[in-house]
Amino acid sequence: MFAKLAQPYPLGATLCDQGCNFSIHCPDNQEIKLILFDAENKRTTIELGNEYMGCRYVFVPGVKAGQRYGYQIRDKHELRLVLDPYAQALDKTPFYVEPFTADKSWEFAKSVVVDHQFDWQQATLPQVPYEETVLFETHVKGFTKQHPQLDEQHQGSYLGLCQPQVIEFFKDQGITTLQLLPVTSCMSEPHLLKMDKVNFWGYNSLCFMAPEPRYAANDAVTELKTMVRELHKNGIEVIMDIVFNHTAEGGEGGPKFHFKCLDKNYYLQDSNKNYLNYTGCGNTVDLTYQPSLNIVLDTLRNWVTHYQIDGFRFDLAATLGRKRDRFDTQSAFFKAIAQDPILRQVKLIAEPWDVGPDGYQLGHFPRGWNECNDRFRDTVKSYWLEGNNNVKEFATRLMGSRDMFSAGGWPDKLPVNFISYHDGFTLHDLVSYNHKHNHANGENNRDGHGDNRSNNHGVEGETSNYSVIYKRERQKRNLMTTLLFSFGIPHLLAVDSLSHTQGGNNNAYCQDNEISWADWDLSKDDKRFNTWLTQMLAARKQIMSPFIKAFSGHERGHHRIHWHRSNGQMMTAEDWQGLNAFALYLGLYKTGNELMFLVNSSDIPTRYRLPSGSKWSVVCDTSESRLNQRQVQTTYMQSAKSMTILYRE
């Protein structure tokens, strides 16, 4: 009877009312056996009596949700327990003491059978338009661990991120979309375990489909779904940062959790069967190999179907389009996504590079993909913080980097613009440090990027010098105004809204402490900046979003764009070589709403002559710490190293 219920697909553990089907892809290990564990860790060994195309499978009657299991394999004459790569949950936070031997594998985290029934309470998907999307990069634990209004049981957890106080903050801030640092199960790298540290960011995937247990009080599956449901009820999207380019098994000599013992072809290998390391993490998942492609696509559908996830940000996404040492926009992965009725409906964001050959692919991903625009980051930071007066480059980024992202493909091909990300300086540290200070990471300050393009404005680190503080706060406003009023999807680091400092650490990946935890104890300057940013996000939605929509697609050529010198005359070819003060004029159609950008990167105030007509409303002047609503008409005096946005209906 039960033999008929046994099926090779879907892979993983699939429940029905009579029991559970277990199936695993394991062509490199024919002696594999299913092990079930009871509450006292007593084992039941079950033969996988069926085989199909490299998959071994069996139906086990009577199995219920919550059943812990693993697979026993023979590894060099030792019996090792491996995780199910398709595991939907883990029974505890993965941990081991180096080295990870076959004996220790039996004490490691176990796979868990999951029943995905859940009451979504009729919560609907927010489906925020691209032109209105504001990404808020958030660490589940780090953002709420020190939140003063949350109960201790909710701090640093999935449920903490959806408490009314936190949701109210998101809504007041004007955030449409949370981009969560990885919430899939991960394992800290061996070198971190030796230093008694953890991979705080989570970019070291263990089981792609299992939510990270350390952010849950009891049940990571239910608590993550609850978080998504409550955010959706409040119109906030949830995007997962997900890592398919490598796994926690590392390279040669790395730990064996699953893939290495089941099928080594999951990873790219050279002619000597050594792992190719195009990710900088020891191994590279080979998506030209059908089982690798299958688990990636199955994983994505799992998160969208069972967790109502609104989209994904793909870490080192160039790896996903690789054919060994070349990147291919026509790869099977991109084609599979484009034809998938579930996946082609969600937001897809690529980090468009990896560290291998042909690895930098900004602007080359297919339609339907948005891309993290590091050219915007570097140009804008250099312009405001380093005095690199490359007006042409700055203007190109302001107008949506159309040298790489044609407006004909907008809004779905809008670039994702950003100033700060989880890796690198926070916004506050960008204006407070000239050098990285990563000593807490235990690598003698050798780790982390050296190209920060930052400016401490005369003092390294925190200071009480009012003149220095004023310059720093003004530059923060310059950077954020440029980000929010450029054409693109703005990406903000969540802790930047709180002016959080990491003490100059630009690579805090292993800092599960106050260095990374958002500091909610705000100074007067911090509160003032948060209020300013909240109002600017509201202004962007009201004013800039309609301009982005209008400048997208077939209508893009029907609007007015003019570049002016401060005296009102049109800019000449010579002006583009380094003019310190210029203006951008935008007008919708022939007589529609108008925007003016007054940009003064010089050290002296500059008076601008404005286009004639009715009065302009001042949206913001970055030389001012508050938004002061007023109108101007013929001229405007712009302070040094600042910019102003004007609007006229």
CA distance 69 to 500: 42
Q: What is the pLDDT of residues 37-83, one digit of tens each?
A: 999 999 999 999 999 999 999 999 999 999 999 999 999 889 999 99
pLDDT of residue 153: 96
Q: What is the pLDDT of residues 433-471, one digit of tens each?
A: 999 999 999 999 999 999 999 999 999 999 999 999 999
If DSSP codes are grouped into helix, strand and coil, which group holds residue 27? coil
Of the candidates 213, 233, 238, which has an alpha carbon nearest to the alpha carbon of residue 223?
Answer: 213
Helices of type H across 490-601: 524-539, 545-550
Q: For the domain with range 130-368, which CATH number is right: 3.90.550.10, 3.20.20.80, 1.10.4190.10, 3.40.718.10?
A: 3.20.20.80
**DSSP state at residue 497:** G
Q: What is the pLDDT of residues 567-612, one digit of tens each?
A: 999 999 999 998 999 999 999 999 999 999 999 999 999 999 999 9
CA distances (Å), origin 614, targets 593, 619, 632: 12, 16, 9
Global pTM? 0.97
Q: Is the peptide bond before 126 cis (omega within 30 degrees of 0)?
A: no
- What topology does CATH give the domain 2-112? Immunoglobulin-like (2.60.40)
How do beta strands 322-323 and 326-327 pair?
A: antiparallel
SS3 content of the chain, % helix, strand, coil (to 5): 30, 20, 50
CA end-to-end distance (rounded Å), the chain: 73
Identify whether the C-beta of residue 540 lies closer than 8 Å to the C-beta of residue 484. Answer: yes
The H or E element spanning position 477 is: helix 466-484
Torsions phi, psi for 597 (to 5 deg): -110, 115
Helices of type H across 73-130: 102-105
Q: Per-residue pLDDT for 4 more than 80?
A: no
pLDDT of residue 522: 97
CA 562 to chain centroid, in Å, comes to 35
Q: What is the pLDDT of residues 188-241, one digit of tens each?
A: 999 999 999 999 999 999 999 999 999 999 999 999 999 999 999 999 999 999
Measured from the Cβ of residue 278, the count of other Cβ atoms closer than 10 Å reads 24
Identify whether the C-beta of residue 157 lies closer than 8 Å to the C-beta of residue 141. Answer: yes
pLDDT of residue 2: 56
Of the candidates 625, 396, 535, 616, which has an alpha carbon nearest to the alpha carbon of residue 639?
Answer: 625
CA distance 488 to 131: 7
Cα Rg of the chain, angstroms: 26
If DSSP codes are grouped into helix, strand and coil, which group holds residue 111? strand
Of the candidates 431, 424, 435, which has an alpha carbon nearest to the alpha carbon of residue 479?
Answer: 431
Tell me which residues are annotated as active site. 315, 351
Q: Per-residue pLDDT for 138 more than 50?
A: yes
pLDDT of residue 1: 45
Identify whether the C-beta of residue 176 lies closer than 8 Å to the C-beta of residue 237. Answer: yes
Token output for 284: 């590279």
Q: What is the pLDDT of residues 6-31, one digit of tens each?
A: 999 999 999 999 999 999 999 999 89
Domains 2-112 and 557-648 share a fold: yes
| Mean pLDDT, rounded, for 389-395 | 95
pLDDT of residue 578: 86
Identify whether the C-beta of residue 201 lies closer than 8 Å to the C-beta of residue 182. Answer: yes
Taking the CA of residue 513 as centre, how many other CA atoms within 13 Å lie in the half-sphere pointing to its CB?
12
* Domain spans, the chain: 2-112, 130-368, 557-648
Share of the chain above pLDDT 90, in %: 98
Identify whether the C-beta of residue 419 lies closer than 8 Å to the C-beta of residue 477. Answer: no
CA distance 504 to 438: 7
Task: Name every residue whose Cβ is closer than 8 Å to that of residue 42 and which is 6 or more positions away in sequence.
Answer: none
Chain mean pLDDT for the chain: 97
pLDDT of residue 3: 61
Q: Per-residue pLDDT for 157 more than 70?
A: yes
Per the DSSP assignment, residues forming a β-bridge with 241 are: 313
Measured from the Cβ of residue 223, the count of other Cβ atoms closer than 10 Å reads 21
CATH class of the structural domain 557-648: mainly beta
Q: What is the pLDDT of residues 333-358, one digit of tens each?
A: 999 999 999 999 999 999 999 999 99
Measured from the Cβ of residue 271, the count of other Cβ atoms closer than 10 Å reads 5
Q: What is the pLDDT of residues 608-631, one digit of tens each?
A: 999 999 999 999 999 999 999 999
Count Cβ neighbours within 10 Å for each residue of 560-570 and write b for 16 or more, e otherwise: eeebbbbeeee
| Mean pLDDT, rounded, for 108-125 | 98
